[in-house]
Every structure is written in C-alpha cells, then in structure tokens.
C-alpha cells in the first residue's frame, strides 16, 4: 500500500515538473482558445497577409540578386519603368507612361509618371532614373558596389565591355529620359520590366551605400519595415502609392518556413495565409479542403530532350522526328509531375508573347515512329546514350525516372538507349561540350522575351563549346537570320511574326523533343482575392485582399 502510494506520488511529481519544465503548463494551453484566435482580431476583414516560403532573401536590393526569394519581396517595394501584364509577359507602362524609339532602334525616349515619390519622401524623376542606370552599368561609379549580375547578363556586360548594349542614359528634362544604345536590342523593353532593373531612391542609395540591401527604398506599393534574417520580412502599405486606392492590404509578412510539410501544416493551422513550394501530394489535399484554394503559376520554363545533331544518327532529321513521336508527354506529366505541368510543343512556354499555338505537336504513335525510323534507314533501330540530370530541377523534377520511362518507349521502336548521368556541375560541363548523344535539360526564362529562349537555346551562335547553351548543336542559317532580325527590331508585331516563323522551323527540324512546361502550385486561404500568379515567379500584391 505504502509502495503504491509512493509510486503514485512519484508519477505526479514527474508529470507536474515535466509540464512546468516544458513551458506554460497545460492549463494555459487547454483552457484558452487557439492562439490564432487570440492573435487575430475576429470579425473584421483581415488586412495582413502572411506569406509562407521556403527560404530567406539574400538581399533586398533587386539589382544585386538573382534568387526568386529576393526578387519576390523587392517586386513589392520597388517599381520598374515598364511592367509585365497580369499572367503573361507582354509589357505595360509602370513608372514610364509612354516610350518611343528612333527608327534605327538606337535611341529610346521614356516619358515618366509625374508626382511619384519614393518611400523616403524624395521625388521620382529623370535624374533618379539616370542615377540608377549609372550605378548598375558603370564600374567606375561611386555607388557601383556589388556584382549587379543580372545587369551584366541582360545588357551584354558593363560600361567599357565589348558588347555592352547601353551607351548612355540622359535626363532630357525633369520627366523625360533618353536611353542611347550601342546596338539595337529586341528584348530591350522586356528586360526593363525585370525586377532587377527597378528604380531605387538615389538618396537612400547614397545614404546606405553597400548596405542598401538592408534598407531598401523604392516607390512600390509596400514600404520596407523590418527584416529578421531566416525568420521574416515585414512590409507596410505605402499610403502614397501612385495607383490611388491601392494597395488593399495594410501589411505583408514574408515568413520563412523551410520545410514544405511544416509550411502546409502552418497554413492549415491558420498561422500563415498562403504559401509556395507545395508538395505535389499536398496540392491534392488542398484541392479537397474547402478553406483553401490552389493557384497554378503559368509556366516560364521548358524541360527538353536535346539530340546532339552533330552526331550520327541524330544528324538525320527523320530520326529526330521519329523519336519525337515516341515520347508520351502527357504520360510523363501524369506520372512524374502530379499533373502540375503542360505538354510542350514549342521551345518556349505559352505564357510568352510570340508563342506559336498553330503548330501541331508530333503525335505519340509508336507504329508511325517505327515506320519513319525505317524510312530514315534504321529499320532495326540503333543503340545510343541518353543523359539525364542528377538533380531535381523545376522543369524536370525526377530526371532518372523520366529517362527510364522514355527509355521503355524508345525500346519499343528498336532504339536501345543506355542511361547515363554525372554530378550536376560535370553534367553541365560535358553537355556544354557536346559529349552526349541525347540529353535532358531545361531552362527557366528571365525576361519573358522569346529571344531569351530561342536564341539562347537554339541559335547557331550558341552552338559552340565549351559552354554551349544550344546543346543540340543545332545550326540553321535561316533560323539564325530570323533571330538576328528579331533582335534588332523594336517593332513588336514584326518580332512576334518572326518568332512564330522561328518556331515553325524548329518544329520541322526537331532538334529537341520539347517535353513540358511545369506550372508551380501555390496554396492559400479561400477568401484571398486579387492574386494572379505571374509567370516570372515574382508577384505584386497591389490588388490582393481578403474577402
């Protein structure tokens, strides 16, 4: 009896101390309603949006970064001269109201919006634009501190480099800016719409110098408040935003929650309002949850199978066409993308202007494929190597499994492929040199211009080792002429026509099998309205609100 009592006492002791030790004690947590309820004012419409994401930003100076987590936040703090339209990569006015180019495409004149102020109260004007361009492009500039990687990439290097596109940027009057180019650049306007070329407050740059990325000041719909690294970034509404009545939210908090499952749990628990980086299985769960909604971001990428057209038998277009008929794209999407992708028929995604929708894809038909192969002189097929990427990429999440599925189909038409891979850096290195016969690879676009896909990936200029972007080593002079003409034109209608023709040529020559354009999912509360995910991966929350 005595023993029994002491055991009982000891257990009580253990439990009570343990509970006291691990925090507030059970009474606190059980008698109160959920924390969310006590945290958030009930009834009235929610004005703060908590966006859960997997990583943290690198810097909040958009000109210094290339990562999506930085650009997604800065898109809301800053504005660009030109912006993309909702849901596609066509352009529309932003800080610049109108623009025109000289006949030779070398001089661009921008009329700026008047009365816009930076968050620090200083005026946005032509001088501010000139200051920003000089900071990005001139290594001798006092404020050119850092790497400015996207500037160099999109505008052919920096001032003084051979191939640098921009000659000079001049303020013609308070609200007129003239940008003079060394050579016409077709994608010029699309480039200017990229967040890395957003206009920062010159005063703030002068004040914070190389620490500007910790104290960003722009003209955007939201004002930077604080950044707790690896935890959260807080933005408040800009009451003086140039779009009157906007933004609709009072506050946005970007909260870093590294684990995809934990982030999804946090969403279901009400700790956050929306999230990206959703596990495919969780998308299915979210679709079945009446409190949640799913958005699919329009694709701006392409996953493809490239044939090395310099190697036999892939120097024969009929062989390439035959293999194109032996790929079951929809099957791959259902099996390996959970349906979160669309089959590709062109080397660029349909969210881009200039996409040629009139092209009919090669049908998946093994009998016809075999016939065509026989016609090409390979009635019994052949043997070759097939490289697949060792790491998951947004456009090809499971390289090995996708390669195995395609291998099985190729086998049916008599083509025996030997799968091969390398460590990722080596893989890029060797495919860039052209060691493969067939290889999987993909591309995510930067500026939403067709040039950024077709020229980079399929022009003969880029079919040279050791760093070929065109790993099909496909060289077509007719295509090259079209692409160069399109680069030098500033007439959008003309460029659209040229790129449509280019896709026609590529389709017939089949240097690739374009496989898929993946559409990354986002999940959020059902009552979120006004959110329209943009293909570039960065979203402005100006019109987002709760109902």
Partner 1 sequence: MFAYTVRRLIMLIPVLIGMSILVFSIIHLIPGDPAKTLLGEKASPEVLEKMREDLGLNDPLLVQYKNYMVNLLQGDLGTSIKTKRSISEEIKPYLAATVELTFFAMLFAVIVGVNAGIIAAWKQNSWFDYIAMLIALIGVSMPVFWLGLMEQYIFAQKLQWLPSIGRDSILNPINSITNFYIIDTVIQGDFDGLKQILKHLILPSIALGTIPMAIIARMTRSSMLEVMKADYIRTARAKGVAQFFLVYKHALKNAFIPVLTVVGLQTGLLLGGAVLTETIFAWPGVGKYLYDAISVRDYPVIQSGILMIATIFVIINLIVDLLYSAIDPRIRYQ
Binding site for partner 1 (CB under 8 A): 2-3, 6-7, 9-11, 13-14, 17-18, 21-24, 28-30, 33-36, 39-40, 48, 50, 56, 58-59, 66-67, 147, 149, 152-153, 157, 161, 210, 213-214, 228-232, 253, 255-259, 261-263, 265-266, 268-272, 425, 428, 446
Whole-number Å distance between alpha carbons of 480 and 485: 8
Are 330 and 379 contacting, i.e. CB atoms less than 8 angstroms apart? Answer: no
Nearest to 267 by CA among 54, 77, 76: 54
Whole-number Å distance between alpha carbons of 365 and 326: 6
CA atoms within 13 A on the CB side of 51: 26
What HEC string does 450-461 produce? CHHHHHHHHCHH
Please provide the DSSP assignment of 222-237 as one string.
EEEEEEETTTEEEEEE
**49 SS3 class:** strand
Closer residue to partner 1 (CB): 36 or 284: 36
Q: Which residues contact 106 (CB under 8 A, 6 or more apart)?
A: 180, 181, 182, 183, 184
Residue 271 Cβ vs partner 1, minimum distance, rounded to whole Å = 5
Whole-number Å distance between alpha carbons of 501 and 479: 9
Closer residue to partner 1 (CB): 45 or 228: 228
Closer residue to partner 1 (CB): 193 or 322: 193
Closer residue to partner 1 (CB): 31 or 380: 31
Residue 467 Cβ vs partner 1, minimum distance, rounded to whole Å = 8
Residues paired with 91 in a beta bridge: 84
Q: Which residues contact 365 (CB under 8 A, 6 or more apart)?
A: 325
CA atoms within 13 A on the CB side of 334: 4
Residue 253 Cβ vs partner 1, minimum distance, rounded to whole Å = 6
Closer residue to partner 1 (CB): 8 or 334: 8
**123 SS3 class:** strand
Residue 41 Cβ vs partner 1, minimum distance, rounded to whole Å = 9
Whole-number Å distance between alpha carbons of 371 and 469: 32
Whole-number Å distance between alpha carbons of 275 and 256: 10
Closer residue to partner 1 (CB): 185 or 490: 185
Closer residue to partner 1 (CB): 14 or 478: 14
Residue 490 Cβ vs partner 1, minimum distance, rounded to whole Å = 24
Closer residue to partner 1 (CB): 151 or 246: 151
Residue 14 Cβ vs partner 1, minimum distance, rounded to whole Å = 4
Are 275 and 523 contacting, i.e. CB atoms less than 8 angstroms apart? Answer: yes
Residue 274 Cβ vs partner 1, minimum distance, rounded to whole Å = 13
Are 492 and 109 contacting, i.e. CB atoms less than 8 angstroms apart? Answer: no
Whole-number Å distance between alpha carbons of 331 and 516: 11
Residue 231 Cβ vs partner 1, minimum distance, rounded to whole Å = 4
Residue 259 Cβ vs partner 1, minimum distance, rounded to whole Å = 5
Burial of 454 (0-12, 13-18, 19+ CB in 10 A): buried
Closer residue to partner 1 (CB): 12 or 408: 12
| Radius of gyration for the alpha carbons in the chain, expressed in angstroms and rounded | 27
**156 SS3 class:** coil
Closer residue to partner 1 (CB): 105 or 448: 448
Are 347 and 514 contacting, i.e. CB atoms less than 8 angstroms apart? Answer: yes
Nearest to 253 by CA among 547, 546, 543, 541: 541
Residue 20 Cβ vs partner 1, minimum distance, rounded to whole Å = 8
Residue 304 Cβ vs partner 1, minimum distance, rounded to whole Å = 16
Closer residue to partner 1 (CB): 13 or 104: 13
Residue 493 Cβ vs partner 1, minimum distance, rounded to whole Å = 29
Whole-number Å distance between alpha carbons of 340 and 299: 10
Whole-number Å distance between alpha carbons of 78 and 80: 7
Residue 224 Cβ vs partner 1, minimum distance, rounded to whole Å = 16
Closer residue to partner 1 (CB): 10 or 478: 10
DSSP state of 81: S
Closer residue to partner 1 (CB): 7 or 478: 7
């Amino acid at each position: 009896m005595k023993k029994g009592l002491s055991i009982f006492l000891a257990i009580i002791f253990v439990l009570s101390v343990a509970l006291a030790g691990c925090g507030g004690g059970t009474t606190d947590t059980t008698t109160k309603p959920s924390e969310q309820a006590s945290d958030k004012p009930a009834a009235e419409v929610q004005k703060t949006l908590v966006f859960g994401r997997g990583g943290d930003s690198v810097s909040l100076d958009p000109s210094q970064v290339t990562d999506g987590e930085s650009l997604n936040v800065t898109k809301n703090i800053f504005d660009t001269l030109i912006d993309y339209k909702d849901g596609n990569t066509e352009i529309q006015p932003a800080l610049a109201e109108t623009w025109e180019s000289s006949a030779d495409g070398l001089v661009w004149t921008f009329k700026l919006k008047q009365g816009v102020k930076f968050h620090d109260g200083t005026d946005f004007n032509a001088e501010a634009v000139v200051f920003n361009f000089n900071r990005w492009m001139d290594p001798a500039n006092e404020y050119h501190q850092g790497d400015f990687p996207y500037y160099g990439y999109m505008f052919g290097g920096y001032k003084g480099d051979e191939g640098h596109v921009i000659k000079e940027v001049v303020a013609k009057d308070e609200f007129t800016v003239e940008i003079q180019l060394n050579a016409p650049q077709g994608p010029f306007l699309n480039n200017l719409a990229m967040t890395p070329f957003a206009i920062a407050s010159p005063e703030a740059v002068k004040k914070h110098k190389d620490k500007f990325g910790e104290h960003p000041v722009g003209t955007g719909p939201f004002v930077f408040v604080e950044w707790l690294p690896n935890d959260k970034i807080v933005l408040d509404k800009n009451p003086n935003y140039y779009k009157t009545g906007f933004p609709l939210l009072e506050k946005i908090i970007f909260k870093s929650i590294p684990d995809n499952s934990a982030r999804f749990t946090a969403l279901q628990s009400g700790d956050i309002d929306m999230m990206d980086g959703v596990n495919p299985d969780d998308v299915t769960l979210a679709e079945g949850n009446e409190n949640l909604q799913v958005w699919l971001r329009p694709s701006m990428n392409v996953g493809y199978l490239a044939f090395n057209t310099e190697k036999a038998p892939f120097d024969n277009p009929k062989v390439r066409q035959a293999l194109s008929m032996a790929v079951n794209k929809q099957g791959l999407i259902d099996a390996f993308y959970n349906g979160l992708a669309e089959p590709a028929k062109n080397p660029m995604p349909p969210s881009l202007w200039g996409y040629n929708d009139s092209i009919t894809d090669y049908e998946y038909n093994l009998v016809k494929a075999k016939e065509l192969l026989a016609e090409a002189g390979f009635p019994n097929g052949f043997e070759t190597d097939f490289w697949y990427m060792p790491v998951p990429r947004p456009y090809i999440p499971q390289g090995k499994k996708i390669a195995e599925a395609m291998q099985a189909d190729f086998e049916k038409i008599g083509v025996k492929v030997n799968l091969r891979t390398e460590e990722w850096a080596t893989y890029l290195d060797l495919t860039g040199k052209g060691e493969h016969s067939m290889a999987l690879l993909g591309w995510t676009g930067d500026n939403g211009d067709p040039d950024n896909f077709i020229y980079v990936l399929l022009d003969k200029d880029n079919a040279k080792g050791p760093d070929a972007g065109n790993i099909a080593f496909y060289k077509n002079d007719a295509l090259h002429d079209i692409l160069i003409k399109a680069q030098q034109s500033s007439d959008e209608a003309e460029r659209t026509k040229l790129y449509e023709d280019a896709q026609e040529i590529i389709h017939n020559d089949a240097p690739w099998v374009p496989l898929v354009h993946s559409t990354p999912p986002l999940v959020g509360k059902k009552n979120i309205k006004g959110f329209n995910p943009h293909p570039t991966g960065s979203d402005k929350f100006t019109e987002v609100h709760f109902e």
